[in-house]
Amino acid sequence: MNIKIKKNGFLTYKNFKYKCSLGCKGLKIKKKEGDEITPKGKYTLGKLYYRKDRIKNIFTKLEKKIITKNSGWCHDVSSVYYNKEIKITSKLKHEKLHRKDHKYDILIVINYNTNPIIAGKGSAIFLHLTKNYSKTKGCVAITKRDLVELIKYINKKTKIFIG
């Protein structure tokens, strides 16, 4: 089964239907770095990242990785690490994964612009957490309760259809 995201702000999977947040500037096929658009298309899912200090007993068939204080995601278009997980340094522009606001307590990488990676096409597209369904900078966001439920059923073969 596949996850489907509709422009009306709903995520569906099997018999589950969850309200979700999308990019401030909607859904579009053509995306570029920093445009606040959620990319339309069909994508595979990458690793699930989580904060071990905030999330206990996580159950999923996805590959998992613990977020540490120096975990980041590169959005520096001039770097060879663009759109990849990094250990944070002051030299690279990045998205910090270890955050105070709880948005990234659990996240799943949406494999957008990953094979091949094209600099400037967009980076750090995740399925992550929201408390108030405010618009994102291009990601898809659902509540913690909904994501914890969803990750029990999906696996590395699950695809996500946005649009």
Nearest-angstrom CA–CA distance, 115 and 89 = 24
CATH number at residue 86: 2.40.440.10
Confidence grade of residue 90 (pLDDT, cut at 50, 70, 90): confident
Q: Does 134 score more than 90 pLDDT?
A: yes
At 1 the pLDDT is 87
Which domain covers residue 123, as residue numbers?
3-162
Q: pLDDT tens digits, residue range 54-73?
A: 999 899 999 999 999 999 99
At 89 the pLDDT is 82
- The total number of structural domains in the chain stands at 1
At 50 the pLDDT is 98
Residue 46 pairs in a beta bridge with: none
